[in-house]
Amino acid sequence: GAVVSQHPSRVICKSGTSVKIECRSLDFQATTMFWYRQFPKQSLMLMATSNEGSKATYEQGVEKDKFLINHASLTLSTLTVTSAHPEDSSFYICSASRGAGSTDTQYFGPGTRLTVL
C-alpha cells in the first residue's frame, strides 16, 4: 500500500517560534500534496495544495507568509508555521497523491498535533 508519514507526530513550542512539519511519501512519488488543518471536534479544512517544484496554492484566508509550504522533492513536503501563536494550535494533516489527476487516490499521513504555549 501507499504510506505517508508525518514528523513530528506532536510538538509543543513557545509563542513566537517557528515549527516545521514534514510530510513524506514513503513508497511512492507524490506529484501533489495537500495540507489540511483540523480543530478539535471539527472537520478537515484545506490550507493549501502543493505541487512538486512549484509554489503552493493557498486557500482563501490562509496566510502564505505564516504557513510556508515547500515541496522540493517528489517525496517530501514541509509546512513551516512561522512566529507561532496559541491560535495556531491545531492538528495538521497532509495527504499525497501519486499522479496529477483527480482520479488519483489521496493517502493521508497520521497528522501532527501542534501546541503553542
Partner 1 sequence: AQTVTQSQPEMSVQEAETVTLSCTYDTSESDYYLFWYKQPPSRQMILVIRQEAYKQQNATENRFSVNFQKAAKSFSLKISDSQLGDAAMYFCAYRSARSGNTPLVFGKGTRLSVIA
What is the contact surface with partner 1 in residues (CB under 8 A)? 31-32, 34, 38, 42-46, 49, 51, 91, 93, 95, 97, 99-106, 108, 110-111, 113
> Are 30 and 109 a contacting pair, CB within 8 Å?
no
What's the closest the beta carbon of residue 110 comes to partner 1, in angstroms?
5
Cα-only R_g, the chain = 13
Report how far residue 56's alpha carbon sits from residue 2's, in angstroms, rounded to the nearest whole number.
Answer: 23
What's the closest the beta carbon of residue 16 comes to partner 1, in angstroms?
27
Q: Which is nearer to partner 1, 2 or 13 (CB)?
A: 2
Q: Which is nearer to partner 1, 32 or 78 (CB)?
A: 32
For 22, phi then psi, to 5°, come to: -105, 140
> Are 24 and 52 a contacting pair, CB within 8 Å?
no
Report how far residue 87's alpha carbon sits from residue 59's, in angstroms, rounded to the nearest whole number.
Answer: 18
What's the closest the beta carbon of residue 102 comes to partner 1, in angstroms?
5
What's the closest the beta carbon of residue 45 comes to partner 1, in angstroms?
8
Report how far residue 12's alpha carbon sits from residue 116's, in angstroms, rounded to the nearest whole number.
Answer: 6
Q: Which is nearer to partner 1, 80 or 108 (CB)?
A: 108
Q: Which is nearer to partner 1, 14 or 102 (CB)?
A: 102
